[in-house]
Amino acid sequence: MKHRYLKGNIICALPQLKDIFFSKSIIYLTHHNKDGAVGIVLNYKVLNIKGSELYKKLHIKNIKDNLDMQFSFHIGGPLNQNNGFILHSNDYNTEHTLKVSEEVKLTCSTEIITDIARNKGPKKFFISLGYSGWGPGQLEDEIKQNSWINISEELDLLFDIESEKKWKNAIKKTGIDFTKFSNTSGNA
């Protein structure tokens, strides 16, 4: 039997997951193979920052447009929160860009912020600080224990829906009425 990896998919925490960090979270998986999984939490926004402030902090000069643009920053997970990870539409590419799926790419450089400021960046983007990670087989075990449910890649959850509404929208997309389930997890 061929193993099915979930790179490019979204996993949604089931209501019974009570982890202090991952309760009611949805995560876009950027990597998943026999060695483990990496993903970015999509629904924990921590701040909005005005373009002019961000450009100043990143020492980006000579930007005349997009000074009032609002950039939203999210906590992508408990690992490496000092680094930025930008998920974006597939209409942007640099040497620092990784293809996650046909529709989504990942870039981890400030060059993308400069390009966005100069109207040369991707049409849609999502900025996170940090990421989430699982060791070999760990995510698969958590799914078997009914902590997570897999949702295919849903670009609206990634780019369009407000952060505080993403989990409820993701749960609705499963088509399952979780109010009819027990609050304890496990499997039969």
Q: Please give the chain's pLDDT, 188 residues, in tens.
A: 456 789 999 999 998 888 888 999 999 999 999 999 999 999 999 988 888 888 888 877 777 776 777 889 999 999 988 888 999 999 999 999 999 999 999 999 889 988 998 889 999 999 999 999 999 999 999 999 989 999 988 899 999 999 999 999 998 888 877 766 555 545 54
Q: With beta carbons less than 8 A apart as the criterion, state whether 50 and 35 touch.
A: no
> Is this structure's pTM higher than 0.85?
yes
- pLDDT at res. 133: 96
Q: With beta carbons less than 8 A apart as the criterion, state whether 71 and 56 touch.
A: no
Rounded Cα distance, 94 and 114, in Å: 12
Residue extents of the structural domains in the chain: 10-178
Burial of 116 (0-12, 13-18, 19+ CB in 10 A): buried
| Residue 118 zone, left/alpha/beta (φ > 0; ψ -120 to 50; rest) | alpha
CATH 1.10.645.10 fits 10-178, yes or no: no
- pLDDT at res. 187: 52
- pLDDT at res. 62: 74
Q: 3-state DSSP call for residue 5?
A: coil
Provide the residue type at 140 as one letter.
E
Rounded Cα distance, 76 and 16, in Å: 21
